[in-house]
Chains A and B, each alone.
Chain A
């Protein structure tokens, strides 16, 4: 059986790839994808912890399901806003949407 540490390492890698992408990417859609990676890391964590550490309950699985649903809603709103940004600025690059700075 795959030990829980393996899942943990996988999710930590995924999480920090997401964080790194969120910080370094200069495209709004790519940033959104990075955020989705972060949320996927969380889903892996919850599912693995529930299955391997606390198999008697279902709380982790429920958390995973709700997190998937909510992140779908979030990305729907985020994409709508990014489309609106594109209509206003004719670009989805972070560098070109900086009307407001310090």
Chain B
């Protein structure tokens, strides 16, 4: 075997090195400072990893099993940066007594899920794709179950791991039909021979449902709310942003590459799923009283918006999706950072009514949370508005009546989502309570994470160079 092929997959190789380094460091390090020095090590390594992804070139290895292009590399940069923010904001939680002895495990698991997402996005064969997907979701189940002594964490993890295995079974069943229809599993070869036979359509439907579970699109979303609420807050952030972004990108790449001849079938599938995801998730989000559960429904509807970019199957859609995920990473991570610091410093709760009067006691955190929520809702000066705009534009360019209708429904739902995002803002600023959360000063890691996120929310909206960079790489 020609081992030099590993040099064609530099980002993966360095990520494996990071995994090993963190694992060994966890074994070797001892003493008081262990958690903070491990965190520093992981953060530095992830910054290096982001730089490696930035400089990565398009390449392929192992006879086309591994294929990567500029769009994939851009996505890797975005996801690595998101993971970096997760690792920074996880600090207050990792400092907790029952978790701090497992900090190294947390980093190793995060690195291995990220490696799985890399593999999933840069696969050129269904086998690689399947392995990457599993590598991303099995360690993720361990992360969800990380709070071993909390009932909700165990319950969320059980729901996650059962739906994850079930959905990968459904997905594999679909892949077996595709194999029967095409006789090969290489993406390019499948695209060349696959036609609109009933077998291929069955394969497409099963495959789409399997991935729909991973992205938590309605009607495959039932695990989402429980898992998001039960998981530790940093893991929820990771799950809702990085994992979802990777799965959405991979689904888009496969729909556009492999199922390109069947576009008239999967487009209608997408229309239905998008309309359902956005509408139903918005309606459920309105009645939530638990902030993490609320963010779960919000993330389901955001997944619907992300999939809007896939309609039409254009290169512009790829750019719009990557940009949407980037903006979603910073906005959502800002919200989860605030939730996390309130949970660890406050009274350990994530109930929405404990945010009443939050502005009076913690004005800075309330302000940053408001900015992030405005960005999620898509209010103009912030990045969220532009990402929604590009996604809508990519969908509307398809030009058919149904595409316009879906965009219109999504627009109406943006207004609905504004209502429920503002409910939190209202609780923080307007509602008065006798027992607001006490004033607390956040640690430097939280401050760093919030600074990065807020800078992203504002800068990605004001400066167009970020979108130009993504579009330049993709188009």
Q: Answer yes or no: do A and B interact.
A: yes
Let me know if A59 and B158 touch, CB within 8 A: no
A10 smallest CB distance to B (angstroms)? 13
Stretch at the interface among B179-187, B234-242, B458-466: B179-187
Interface band, chain A: 35 or more
Would you call A13 an interface residue if the criterion is a C-beta within 8 Å of the partner chain's C-beta atoms? no
B226 interface contact, C-beta 8 A: yes
The answer to whether B162 and A77 touch across the interface, beta carbons within 8 angstroms, is: no
Across-interface contacts of B157 in A (CB, < 8 A): 81, 84-85
**What is the chain A residue whose CB lies nearest that of B186?**
A59
Chain A contacts with B in 52-102, Cβ cutoff 8 A: 53-54, 57, 59-60, 62-63, 66-67, 70-71, 73-75, 77-78, 80-82, 84-85, 87-89, 97-102
A97 to chain B, nearest CB (A): 5
Q: How far is it, in angstroms, between the C-alpha of A46 and the C-alpha of B156 when the chains are bound?
A: 32
**8 Å CB contacts to A: which residues of B75-93?**
none
Are B130 and A67 in touch, CB under 8 angstroms? yes
Which B residues lie within 8 Å of A102 (CB)? 225, 284
B: number of interface residues (CB 8 Å): 43
Contacts of A97 in B (CB 8 A): 151, 154-155, 158
Question: Which of the candidate stretches B163-171, B406-414, B438-446 sits at the interface with the other chain?
Answer: B163-171
List chain A residues, Cβ under 8 A from B141. Answer: 77-78, 81
A73-B134, A84-B145, A84-B154 known; A38-B166 Cβ under 8 A: yes
* Chain A residues within an 8 Å CB radius of B226: 100-101
Residues of A within 8 A of B172 (CB): 39, 42, 63, 67
Residues of chain A within 8 A of B149, CB atoms compared:
88
Report B26 CB to chain A, min CB distance, Å.
19
Query: Which of B127, B145, B157, B169 counts the most A-chain CB atoms under 10 A from its CB?
Result: B169
Q: Does B161 reach chain A (CB closer than 8 Å)?
A: yes
Interface bits B352-363 vs A (CB < 8 Å: 1, else 0): 000000000000
Could you tell me the distance between the alpha carbons of A87 and B149 in the complex, rounded to whole angstroms?
9
> CB < 8 Å: which of B127, B151, B152, B176 contacts A49?
B176
Interface string of B227-251 (1 = CB under 8 A from A): 0011000000000000000000000
* CA distance in complex: A11, B172 (Å): 12
- Partner of A88 from the list B142, B151, B173, B177 (CB cut-off 8 Å) is B151
For B175, the chain A residues whose CB sits under 8 A away are 42, 63
Given contacts A35-B169, A38-B166, A39-B169, contact A59 B152 (CB under 8 A): no
**For the complex, would chain B's binding face be called helix, strand, loop or mixed by DSSP majority?**
helix
Chain B nearest Cβ from A33, distance in angstroms: 11
B173 touches A45 (CB 8 A): yes
B134 touches A32 (CB 8 A): no
- Segment 5-58 of A: residues with Cβ below 8 Å from B: 11, 15, 18, 22, 28, 31-32, 35, 38-39, 41-42, 45-46, 49-50, 53-54, 57
User: Which residues B287-323 have CB closer than 8 A to chain A?
Assistant: 293
Give the chain A neighbours of B150 by CB distance below 8 A: 88
- Indicate whether A22 sits within 8 Å of B166 (C-beta atoms), given known contacts A57-B184, A67-B130, A81-B145: yes
User: Are A54 and B176 also in contact (CB < 8 A) when A38-B166, A77-B142 are?
Assistant: no
B140 and chain A: residue at smallest CB distance: A77
Tell me if A59 and B179 are in contact (CB < 8 A): yes
Interchain nearest-CB distance for A102 vs B (Å): 8
A28 to B162, Cβ gap below 8 A?
yes
Give min CB distance, A101 to chain B, whole Å.
Answer: 8
User: Residue on A with the closest CB to B151?
Assistant: A88
Residues of A within 8 A of B126 (CB): 63
Whether B52 sits at the interface, judged by CB under 8 Å, is: no
Q: Which of A35, A41, A70, A80 contacts B131 (CB 8 A)?
A: A70
Q: Chain B residues near A70: list those with CB within 8 A.
A: 130-131, 134
Q: Is the CB of B154 within 8 A of A81?
A: yes
Give 8 closest A-B pairs by Cβ, nearest first: A38-B169, A45-B176, A42-B172, A88-B154, A85-B154, A78-B161, A49-B180, A54-B183
Residues of A in contact with B (beta carbons under 8 Å apart): 11, 15, 18, 22, 28, 31-32, 35, 38-39, 41-42, 45-46, 49-50, 53-54, 57, 59-60, 62-63, 66-67, 70-71, 73-75, 77-78, 80-82, 84-85, 87-89, 97-102
List 25 contacting pairs A-B, 8 Å CB cutoff, sorted by A.
A22-B162, A32-B165, A35-B165, A38-B173, A42-B176, A49-B180, A53-B180, A57-B184, A59-B185, A67-B172, A74-B138, A74-B164, A74-B165, A75-B165, A77-B141, A80-B142, A81-B141, A81-B161, A82-B158, A85-B158, A88-B151, A88-B155, A99-B152, A100-B226, A100-B293
Chain B residues within 8 Å of A, Cβ to Cβ: 126-127, 130-131, 134, 138, 141-142, 145, 148-152, 154-158, 161-162, 164-166, 168-170, 172-173, 175-177, 179-180, 183-185, 225-226, 229-230, 284, 293
